[in-house]
């Protein structure tokens, strides 16, 4: 049964925190692979191999699904649609 944020148990709060952390980490991993700026006269980023980029994208998708599932189950909230 959905709760309000104030009604969440410690374990439910930990579940949400883990889901947020997983999504944050997955986002940072994808960012590091695709949005790294070069350092002038020192370093030029190379494209990530497709299998590494694919794995990072799958983890990002899985992390997003985990977070939205947690919000749906614990709080009855639906993610915004694009």
Model pTM greater than 0.75?
Answer: yes
Residue 39 dihedral angles phi and psi, to the nearest 5°: -105, 115
Q: pLDDT band for position 79 (50/70/90)? A: confident
Q: What is the pLDDT of residues 6-54, one digit of tens each?
A: 899 999 999 999 999 999 999 999 999 988 777 787 777 788 899 999 9
Structural domain boundaries in the chain = 5-75
The rounded distance, in Å, linking the Cα atoms of 54 and 59 is 9
pLDDT score of 1: 63
């Amino acid at each position: 049964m959905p709760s309000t944020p104030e009604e969440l148990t410690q374990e439910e709060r930990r579940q949400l925190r883990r889901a947020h952390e997983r999504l944050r980490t997955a986002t940072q991993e994808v960012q590091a692979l695709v949005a790294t700026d070069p350092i002038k006269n020192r370093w030029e980023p190379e494209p990530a191999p497709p299998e590494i980029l694919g794995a990072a994208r799958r983890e990002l998708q899985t992390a997003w699904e985990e977070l939205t599932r947690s919000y749906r189950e614990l709080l009855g909230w639906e993610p915004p649609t694009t």
